[in-house]
Structure 1
């Protein structure tokens, strides 16, 4: 396509071996690195190791005795129906929600390049992302409650009110709210990469008769694939720890706990720590966290492998 032809980047030459840092340079290097290593170890590594230790014990929190349980907390999770349901819900939310989020993101990338006022539209789409997730969940929960605005409007239209917050629909509604509030962030990321593609490449493609879908498939997607790979990892990490929107969505205006049909692992972990009328189960909650950590690491590796492609450059 003329001067804007897409080519595969040449193979990267093996790194040239260099001499080791001289002792003087090593001594200058460590004072800059050491504070970051100490802070990271103290704030992330040490708490993670302590959490793993807690997962091997029965513990009710500070002031109570910690007793060794070994792998019993993990085995108990396998027999726990609430954890199993929340685990499945978390995966459904991650995969179904991710498919919808990136489906709308790719559609936006196709449409927004060809309409006026796209900067304003992108700002509107991004707006839900800067609103607190608690506020988003509470607002949607109030709108969908039995006497909320949605059922009121359905009544005006002569339609039957729906139990949006009932066991059969609540989880679908939460996924819809999550997709609505999250899509703008990924649209902003992907469009920032798409905007850096020279316009003459699309003009050349248009002259040879390429449709918008073909332009997206052969130009936009290859040249923004690196950003998509990073976005996919971000979604995996964020979707496996969804908590606020579920809690706010299902408990807005009430003191009831979220129904089992709507819980994620993070919500189940919260109620294991804050059990009403019982001793907090910090060991079991820590075991849930370790399981999610392992699953997250595995999914990140798989996501990186699936999205790995040869880099495409302009020549």
Structure 2
């Protein structure tokens, strides 16, 4: 059998002069492959140099500054080691801003994606959904400073909201007081940001074949069951990316807090309304004392570490087997 097999294999080989032999594509010589593989470096190198100069080097410089006491260019740098980080643990303003930032990232994120999921269920079959998506996305293109200032004017003690409450015989509420100010900031941020995530998730919903929902409807599935077993699994990858985007954006909230609490007037936001980004700005700008760039840099390093931890947790929590349509 081996002789027969060998014979057959020899007969199956094309003759050197046959058309099949002539049309065979020649392989690239091994000596040319490394040169072709190195061809991408001239295209990659400029972007890599710019990224390193604009992002990597400043980030490393910030870590280095966080180990010193420094008031800015022209001032002497004094080595402090990890003392800037240990001082943050005793700084009540930083602790308040840190917990505010976590509440904003987690609580605000829950509100944003809760509203997004409800919109995904309601807008999927609604007529005029493209127009509605455009309307809810509109606050996203408005400046955060303008949104913060507008909400601050509405909620001030003599603002329109309290006037409406008084018109119905109710007393005005201290919206800008220590108990409610940060909740109002979260509400304003959720209102201005939800449209972006609705548009992002609805773009994934539009890619789902309609016949899946038709089959589910004929099988007696409710809208909630259709969302749970069809919409959510097939948009899970987009949701994972959207959750990461929310975490990154929520940990650096800055403008809306300043505009909401100060209304464009000089002064620092109250401690109850500050995020880490705002507290960092007050630290490096001096506030009511000498600028502390080392302390501000330490805050930035802490925020980066928290961002990395939250992103890793989100990616692990949202990690699932990819669902593909057969």
Q: Distance in 2 between matches of 1:106 and 1:20?
A: 55
Instruction: Note the C-alpha offset of 1:23.
Output: 3.0
* Aligned residues between the structures: 297
Q: TM-score, normalised by structure 1?
A: 0.92
1:187 aligns with 2:198: yes
Matched residue, 2:187: 176
Match of 1:244 among 255, 268, 272: 255
Q: After superposition, give the CA deviation of every residue in 1:15-61 in whole Å (9 maximum; x if it has no partner).
A: xxxx9983312442211111111001000000000000000000000
Aligned ranges for residues 3-18 of structure 1 at < 5 Å? none
Q: Distance in 2 between matches of 1:129 and 1:157?
A: 32
Q: After superposition, give the CA deviation of every residue in 1:77-114 in whole Å (9 maximum; x if it has no partner).
A: 01111101110000001000000000000000000113
SS where residue 99 of structure 2 aligns? helix
Matched residue, 1:69: 80
Match of 2:217 among 183, 206, 213: 206
Matched residue, 1:285: 296
SS where residue 242 of structure 1 aligns? coil
SS where residue 158 of structure 1 aligns? coil
Q: 1:227 to 1:280 in 2, by over 3 A?
A: same
1:218 aligns with 2:229: yes
- 277-286 or 264-273: which moved more? 277-286
Q: Distance in 1 between matches of 2:264 and 2:35?
A: 64
User: RMSD over aligned Cα, in angstroms?
Assistant: 1.3
Match of 1:114 among 114, 125, 147: 125
Q: Distance in 1 between matches of 2:182 and 2:305?
A: 25
Match of 1:139 among 132, 140, 150: 150
Q: 1:88 to 1:21 in 2, by over 3 A?
A: farther
Q: 1:173 to 1:59 in 2, by over 3 A?
A: same
Larger radius of gyration: 2
SS where residue 313 of structure 1 aligns? coil
Q: Distance in 2 between matches of 1:20 and 1:252?
A: 67
Matched residue, 1:53: 64
Matched residue, 1:233: 244
Match of 1:42 among 32, 38, 53: 53
Q: Distance in 1 between matches of 2:107 and 2:68?
A: 35
Residues 68 and 294, structure 2, Cα contact 8 Å, conserved in 1? yes
Aligned ranges for residues 122-161 of structure 1 at < 5 Å? 122-161=133-172
Instruction: Note the C-alpha offset of 1:76.
Output: 0.5
Mind listing any 5+ residue stretches in structure 1 that lack a counterpart? 1-18
Q: Distance in 1 between matches of 2:34 and 2:55?
A: 30
SS where residue 324 of structure 2 aligns? strand
Q: 1:205 to 1:43 in 2, by over 3 A?
A: same
Q: Distance in 1 between matches of 2:47 and 2:60?
A: 18
Aligned ranges for residues 252-271 of structure 1 at < 5 Å? 252-271=263-282
SS where residue 305 of structure 1 aligns? helix
Matched residue, 1:85: 96
Q: 1:238 to 1:21 in 2, by over 3 A?
A: farther
Matched residue, 2:321: 310
Q: Distance in 2 between matches of 1:20 and 1:55?
A: 50
Q: Distance in 2 between matches of 1:22 and 1:36?
A: 24
Q: Distance in 2 between matches of 1:21 and 1:87?
A: 56
Residues 268 and 287, structure 2, Cα contact 8 Å, conserved in 1? no
Matched residue, 1:162: 173
Q: Distance in 1 between matches of 2:176 and 2:268?
A: 13
Q: Work out which structure has the larger RCO, using CA pairs closer than 8 Å and 6 or more positions apart in sequence.
A: 1
Q: 1:103 to 1:20 in 2, by over 3 A?
A: farther
Matched residue, 1:22: 33
Instruction: Note the C-alpha offset of 1:275.
Output: 1.6
